[in-house]
Amino acid sequence: MRTQSVTYFTEREEEFVNLLIEIGMRRTVAKVLVFLANTDEATSRDIERGTDLRQPEVSIAMNYMYERDWLKNRESKAMSKGRPVKIYSLSKPIAKIMDHIEQEKKEEARHRLEQVKKLREYIP
Protein backbone atom coordinates (compact mmCIF):
# COMPACT_ATOMS: atom_id res chain seq x y z
CA MET A 1 0.00 0.00 0.00
CA ARG A 2 1.29 3.49 -0.79
CA THR A 3 1.15 6.47 1.51
CA GLN A 4 -0.20 9.81 0.45
CA SER A 5 -0.47 13.07 2.35
CA VAL A 6 -3.71 15.01 2.27
CA THR A 7 -3.80 18.79 2.49
CA TYR A 8 -6.49 20.35 4.70
CA PHE A 9 -7.54 23.96 5.21
CA THR A 10 -6.04 26.00 7.99
CA GLU A 11 -8.27 28.23 10.11
CA ARG A 12 -7.24 31.23 8.00
CA GLU A 13 -8.08 29.40 4.75
CA GLU A 14 -11.48 28.40 6.19
CA GLU A 15 -12.10 32.06 6.96
CA PHE A 16 -11.12 32.96 3.38
CA VAL A 17 -13.63 30.39 2.07
CA ASN A 18 -16.36 31.75 4.37
CA LEU A 19 -15.74 35.34 3.25
CA LEU A 20 -15.99 34.32 -0.40
CA ILE A 21 -19.28 32.55 0.36
CA GLU A 22 -20.58 35.63 2.19
CA ILE A 23 -19.99 37.84 -0.85
CA GLY A 24 -22.02 35.44 -2.97
CA MET A 25 -19.61 32.84 -4.33
CA ARG A 26 -20.80 29.24 -4.40
CA ARG A 27 -19.39 27.17 -1.54
CA THR A 28 -17.87 24.61 -3.91
CA VAL A 29 -16.14 27.24 -6.05
CA ALA A 30 -14.84 29.04 -2.96
CA LYS A 31 -13.35 25.83 -1.57
CA VAL A 32 -11.68 24.80 -4.84
CA LEU A 33 -10.35 28.33 -5.42
CA VAL A 34 -8.81 28.58 -1.95
CA PHE A 35 -7.40 25.05 -2.20
CA LEU A 36 -5.70 25.78 -5.53
CA ALA A 37 -4.51 29.20 -4.34
CA ASN A 38 -2.51 27.41 -1.66
CA THR A 39 -1.25 24.53 -3.82
CA ASP A 40 1.00 24.72 -6.88
CA GLU A 41 -0.98 22.01 -8.65
CA ALA A 42 -3.32 19.17 -7.78
CA THR A 43 -5.26 16.30 -9.32
CA SER A 44 -9.03 16.20 -9.14
CA ARG A 45 -8.74 13.54 -6.46
CA ASP A 46 -6.41 15.75 -4.39
CA ILE A 47 -8.95 18.56 -4.65
CA GLU A 48 -11.79 16.24 -3.59
CA ARG A 49 -9.87 15.10 -0.52
CA GLY A 50 -8.52 18.51 0.45
CA THR A 51 -11.85 20.33 0.11
CA ASP A 52 -14.05 17.51 1.39
CA LEU A 53 -16.20 17.78 -1.76
CA ARG A 54 -17.58 15.00 -3.93
CA GLN A 55 -16.37 14.52 -7.51
CA PRO A 56 -19.46 16.07 -9.17
CA GLU A 57 -19.16 19.15 -6.92
CA VAL A 58 -15.49 19.56 -7.83
CA SER A 59 -16.34 19.15 -11.52
CA ILE A 60 -19.04 21.83 -11.43
CA ALA A 61 -16.78 24.24 -9.52
CA MET A 62 -13.95 23.66 -11.99
CA ASN A 63 -16.25 24.29 -14.96
CA TYR A 64 -17.25 27.62 -13.38
CA MET A 65 -13.57 28.48 -12.98
CA TYR A 66 -12.73 27.46 -16.57
CA GLU A 67 -15.49 29.77 -17.88
CA ARG A 68 -13.74 32.66 -16.13
CA ASP A 69 -10.29 31.53 -17.29
CA TRP A 70 -9.09 31.02 -13.70
CA LEU A 71 -8.02 27.41 -14.21
CA LYS A 72 -5.58 25.51 -16.40
CA ASN A 73 -4.64 21.86 -16.61
CA ARG A 74 -2.05 19.55 -18.04
CA GLU A 75 -1.93 15.81 -18.44
CA SER A 76 0.54 13.54 -16.71
CA LYS A 77 1.22 9.92 -17.48
CA ALA A 78 -0.60 7.73 -14.95
CA MET A 79 1.50 5.70 -12.52
CA SER A 80 -0.14 2.52 -13.76
CA LYS A 81 -1.93 1.67 -16.96
CA GLY A 82 -4.99 3.67 -17.89
CA ARG A 83 -5.88 7.24 -18.61
CA PRO A 84 -3.43 10.07 -18.11
CA VAL A 85 -4.09 12.08 -14.96
CA LYS A 86 -5.09 15.73 -15.28
CA ILE A 87 -3.24 18.12 -13.03
CA TYR A 88 -4.89 21.46 -12.27
CA SER A 89 -3.59 24.84 -11.18
CA LEU A 90 -4.74 28.45 -11.22
CA SER A 91 -4.09 30.18 -14.53
CA LYS A 92 -3.67 33.57 -12.81
CA PRO A 93 -2.35 34.66 -9.46
CA ILE A 94 -5.03 34.73 -6.75
CA ALA A 95 -4.64 38.54 -6.52
CA LYS A 96 -5.73 38.90 -10.18
CA ILE A 97 -8.69 36.59 -9.58
CA MET A 98 -9.67 38.69 -6.55
CA ASP A 99 -9.47 41.82 -8.74
CA HIS A 100 -11.91 40.14 -11.14
CA ILE A 101 -14.25 39.20 -8.29
CA GLU A 102 -14.09 42.74 -6.90
CA GLN A 103 -14.94 44.21 -10.31
CA GLU A 104 -17.85 41.77 -10.68
CA LYS A 105 -19.23 42.72 -7.23
CA LYS A 106 -18.90 46.46 -7.96
CA GLU A 107 -20.86 45.96 -11.17
CA GLU A 108 -23.55 44.00 -9.32
CA ALA A 109 -23.84 46.75 -6.68
CA ARG A 110 -24.05 49.45 -9.34
CA HIS A 111 -26.79 47.51 -11.13
CA ARG A 112 -28.80 47.06 -7.91
CA LEU A 113 -28.53 50.77 -7.10
CA GLU A 114 -29.85 51.58 -10.58
CA GLN A 115 -32.78 49.25 -9.93
CA VAL A 116 -33.54 50.99 -6.62
CA LYS A 117 -33.48 54.40 -8.39
CA LYS A 118 -35.86 53.03 -10.99
CA LEU A 119 -38.16 51.71 -8.23
CA ARG A 120 -38.31 55.21 -6.74
CA GLU A 121 -39.90 56.41 -9.99
CA TYR A 122 -42.95 54.30 -9.13
CA ILE A 123 -43.44 55.99 -5.76
CA PRO A 124 -45.90 58.93 -5.98
Task: Please state the rounded mean pLDDT for residues 67-83.
Answer: 83
Residue 26: what pLDDT?
Answer: 95
pTM of the model: 0.84
Residue 48: what pLDDT?
Answer: 94
Determine, yes or no, domain membership for 64.
Answer: yes
DSSP string, 28-97: HHHHHHHHHHTSS-EEHHHHHHHHT--HHHHHHHHHHHHHTT-EEEEEE--SSSSSPEEEEEESS-HHHH
**Tally of structural domains, the chain:** 1
Determine, yes or no, domain membership for 105.
Answer: no
Q: How confident is the model at residue 79 (pLDDT cuts 50, 70, 90)?
A: low
Task: Please state the rounded mean pLDDT for residues 49-54.
Answer: 93
Determine, yes or no, domain membership for 22.
Answer: yes
Domain that holds residue 64: 11-91
Residue 5: what pLDDT?
Answer: 63
Task: Please state the rounded mean pLDDT for residues 18-29.
Answer: 95
Q: How far is CA 63 from the centre of its chain?
A: 10
103: left (phi over 0), alpha (psi -120 to 50) or beta: alpha
Cβ-contact 21, 7 below 8 angstroms: no
For helices 94-120 and 27-37, angle between their N-to-C axes, nearest 10 degrees:
150
Q: How confident is the model at residue 21 (pLDDT cuts 50, 70, 90)?
A: very high
Residue 3: what pLDDT?
Answer: 56
Cβ-contact 2, 80 below 8 angstroms: no
CATH code at 43? 1.10.10.10
